[in-house]
Amino acid sequence: MIEVSGLSRRFGTVTAVAQVSFQLAPGATAVIRGASGSGKSTLLHLLCGLLLPDEGKILFDGRLVSKPGFATPPHSRSIGIVFQRRALWPHMSVAQNLMFVMTRGTTAEKRERAQELLKTVKLPHLASRRPDELSGGEAQRAALARALAARPQRLFLDEPLSHVDQELRMYLLDVILTYCQETAVTMIYITHLADEAEIVQGVQYQIQAGTLKEI
């Protein structure tokens, strides 16, 4: 269960997130739509523990994870994250990025699972590459594979396919939805594209000027 209550975040005189409240049951999906600058990414950073709220609180499964002046770190929240921009560890290869977040298995088992996930996102030939050797779309696909490799309870995706071409985008959307169905992971999917929102389905929200409304 994700519970968000009265969440606000300001940057100087600008309110990026304004009194946001919602609940998301375990295994459910929410889609948050909004234009650039509407507060989508700020909200996700608050959910991940990368930003502190100025007001309100966030609970995961009844446990307080964020409030003003306090936030548990991202690694303690059982979350998988994919941002618009590449966020891979630059000193590791693509395969090492995936293996690092795996908490179970021998090194050989982790290596095998990493290769399977890279096949799923159509990147097995780039396992040994460093992040700075990848294109924007390749980096997003590697980040998606890493998010799934962690076997998270919650999956937060911020425009995860923005640098991917249309045909591959539809394929990867199916990969994401199949994974969520098979694992009952709770997912928040952020997008500005109506077609993605329709495919992902789930509870639909619109965010504008930091205010979240169910649609």
Q: For 118-142, what is each residue's pLDDT tens digit?
A: 999 999 999 999 999 999 889 999 9
Distance CA 127, CA 114 (A): 8
Q: Give 215's DSSP letter.
A: -
Average pLDDT (143-162) is 92
**pTM, entire model:** 0.91
Question: Mean pLDDT, to the nearest integer, of 197-211?
Answer: 92
Q: What digits encode the pLDDT tens for the residues 56-96?
A: 999 999 999 999 999 999 989 999 999 877 678 899 999 99
Phi first, then psi: give them for residue 171, nearest 5 degrees. -65, -45
Exposed/middle/buried for 15, CB within 10 Å: 0-12, 13-18, 19+? middle
DSSP character for 2? E
Per-residue confidence band for 208, with pLDDT thresholds at 50, 70 and 90: very high
Domain boundaries, the chain: 88-151
Q: What secondary structure letter does DSSP report for 60?
A: E
Mean pLDDT of the chain: 93
Q: Is the dihedral of CA 168, 171, 174, 178 positive or negative?
A: negative
The pLDDT value recorded for residue 86 is: 66
What's the CA angle centered on 24, arms 20 and 27, to 5 degrees? Answer: 155
